[in-house]
Amino acid sequence: MKATILIHCPDQPGIISSVTGFIHSQRGNIIYLDQHVDKQAGIFFMRLESDFSNQMTSLEKFNEAFETDLAKPNKMEWNIYSDGIRPKMVLFVSKYNHCLYDLLSRYRSGELDVEIPFIISNHDELRDIAGQFDIDFHHIPITSETKSQAEEKQLRLLKEHHIDFIVLARYMQIVTETLISEYPNKIINIHHSFLPAFAGAKPYHAAFERGVKIIGATSHYVTEDLDAGPIIEQDVTTVSHSHSIKDFIAKGRDLEKIVLSRAVKLHLERKTMVYNNKTVIFS
């Protein structure tokens, strides 16, 4: 069995040695280890990929030992993910199709090791694309009056299918606390600006107005503060006076696709950890 283990705890001398010694004692072979210490916050982070072949007695016993021998004494928070289990991801969309096409193409090509049980949208426009890729499409309209019922409906669907995380692929609605509290650090958004510049609506228009020479896109975990959650990935591209707002939008589409898909992959590969509204992104 292969597994990925994520750990964070207060920093202390000997912590790397303790962890690696424990894994070794459990007949695990560490294939990959990445670690980070936030010196300001005094927190230690670690990501381990380990191969336990068939020597390990059982995952249950391993977890028990880890908890007792390692986690408790070191005040660790930790998670273990077996390689065999594919997480379930749901896409939220509205009317823009470029991120949807990009993610579904990658999914269909086997690039993303994930299941996509269905797509949710507050509009019906992108139903055909879901059809092209044989994926269920739930049209749940939202008005200011029906917002909370709509979110309840979304939540029921997500629970029913044991969805692990949500990707807002240019979903043009603000997600509320109802969903966020159920999926903390598990809702990935793509914002079409180089955050924190141009948060909120119409960032390309604002960027054009300001006369910037570079535009960007930012993928982040959704928190209750709009466009202010922990940043997973950003990228930029150059623009000039010769580009219109329409050109900004066209160039931005390519950025958004790339940045969102990178963030989704990092999340899927368990390479992201969140603390203090920031991320540690392991390589």
Catalytic residues: 227
223 is a contact residue toward its own copies (CB under 8 A): no
The CA distance from 115 to 110, in Å, is 10
Q: Please name which of 110, 35, 46, 116 lies closest in space to residue 80, comparing C-alpha atoms.
A: 46
14 is a contact residue toward its own copies (CB under 8 A): yes
Work out which of 233, 248, 256, 264 binds its own copies, going by CB under 8 A: 233
Instruction: Give exposure, 118-147, as e/b (b: 16+ Cβ within 10 Å).
Output: bbbbbeeebeebbeebebebeebebeeeee
Nearest distance, CB of residue 133 and its own copies, angstroms = 7
The CA distance from 89 to 169, in Å, is 12
Q: Are 102 and 261 in contact (CB under 8 A)?
A: yes
Work out which of 65, 135, 236, 268 binds its own copies, going by CB under 8 A: 236
214 is a contact residue toward its own copies (CB under 8 A): yes
Interaction pattern, residues 44-83, with its own copies; x per rule: CB under 8 A: ----------------------------------------
Q: How far is CA 174 from the centre of its chain?
A: 17
Q: Which stretch binds its own copies (CB under 8 A): 72-80, 142-150, 153-161, 231-239?
A: 231-239
172 is a contact residue toward its own copies (CB under 8 A): no
196 is a contact residue toward its own copies (CB under 8 A): yes
- Which residue, 154 or 219, is less far from its own copies as judged by CB? 219
Work out which of 165, 171, 183, 198 binds its own copies, going by CB under 8 A: 198
> Judged by CB under 8 A, how many residues of this single chain contact its own copies?
63
21-50 residues in contact with its own copies (CB under 8 A) are 21, 23-24, 29-39
The CA distance from 86 to 234, in Å, is 26
The CA distance from 31 to 176, in Å, is 40
173 is a contact residue toward its own copies (CB under 8 A): no
My answer on whether omega of the bond before 203 falls inside 30° of 0, hence cis, is: no
Work out which of 57, 63, 82, 132 binds its own copies, going by CB under 8 A: 132
Within the chain, where are the H helices?
15-25, 59-65, 72-74, 98-108, 127-132, 147-160, 177-182, 203-210, 245-268
268 is a contact residue toward its own copies (CB under 8 A): no
3-state secondary structure (DSSP) of residue 58: coil
Tokens encoding 74:
């070191």
User: How many other CB atoms are there within 10 angstroms of residue 6's CB atom?
Assistant: 20
89-128 residues in contact with its own copies (CB under 8 A) are 97-98, 101-102, 105, 108-109, 111
- Which residue, 154 or 261, is less far from its own copies as judged by CB? 261
**Binding residues for its own copies (CB under 8 A):** 13-14, 16-17, 20-21, 23-24, 29-39, 97-98, 101-102, 105, 108-109, 111, 132-133, 194-198, 210-214, 216, 230-236, 240-242, 244, 250, 253-254, 258, 261, 276-281, 283
